[in-house]
Structures are given as structure tokens and as C-alpha cells.
């Protein structure tokens, strides 16, 4: 079905960051895969008053099994393409957890 895409993860000190492409107002919140180095995430929340951003941070924290306070949107708060930063995690751990969450 094609080559598997890999998530582009950047390590900076004790934090990692990665790109996310968000699809708001979806029928369910879910990981949809990786495309062009970015994680694709569908969210049921609308892109109004920061609801989708909050839902994204909650979903990423739950998926990675980390406290919500360690997940933040570093760039792109008003865009469908965002940079998410996770504090206290290394790139290898992040990649492994995302791969496990995407596994069928």
C-alpha cells in the first residue's frame, strides 16, 4: 500500500516537538496516521474558542500516557498544522508510543 511514513520528531533539551495536522469536527477523535512527517489527528471538537486545541492536547497526553500539563501547542494555534511540544520525554520514547498507538 505504499511506504510507511515516519513522524519527524525534534529533541530540544528535555522536550520533544512534532508536527500535527488536525481535522476538526470529525465523527470521532482518533490518530489517522503520519503524512509528510506530521501526525494526522481527527478531533470531534470544533475549531472555536480554542476547543480543538484543548482537545488535541488532552488527546496527545492520553495517547502518550503523560500528564496534560506536559503537553502544549508551541506553534500554529490558529492553523490546522500545529507544532506540539511534550516536556519530559525523549524522541525515541515518543516515536515508540506513537508507533504503538498507530499499530492495528
Q: What is the pLDDT of residues 9-44, one digit of tens each?
A: 999 999 999 999 999 999 999 999 999 999 999 999
Domains and their CATH numbers in the chain? 19-94 (3.30.1200.10)
| Opening angle at CA 65, ends 90 and 70, nearest 5 | 60
- Helix 51-64, helix 91-102: angle, nearest 10: 100
Measure Cα distances from 57 to 2, 3, 5 in Å.
Answer: 30, 28, 22
Q: How far is CA 62 from the centre of its chain?
A: 11
Q: Is pLDDT of 66 > 80? A: yes
What is the three-class DSSP state of 13?
A: coil
Q: How far apart are the first and last CA of the chain?
A: 15
pTM of the model: 0.92
How many residues appear in the chain? 104
Amino acid at each position: 500500500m505504499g511506504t510507511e511514513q515516519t513522524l519527524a520528531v525534534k529533541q530540544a533539551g528535555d522536550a520533544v516537538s512534532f508536527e500535527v495536522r488536525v481535522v476538526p469536527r470529525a465523527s470521532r477523535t482518533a490518530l489517522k496516521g503520519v503524512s509528510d512527517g506530521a501526525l494526522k489527528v481527527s478531533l470531534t471538537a470544533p475549531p472555536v474558542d480554542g476547543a480543538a486545541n484543548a482537545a488535541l492536547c488532552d488527546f496527545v497526553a492520553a495517547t502518550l500516557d503523560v500528564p496534560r500539563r506536559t503537553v502544549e501547542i508551541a506553534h500554529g494555534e490558529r492553523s490546522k498544522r500545529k507544532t506540539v511540544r511534550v516536556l519530559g520525554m525523549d524522541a525515541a520514547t515518543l516515536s515508540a508510543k506513537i508507533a504503538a498507538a498507530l499499530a492495528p
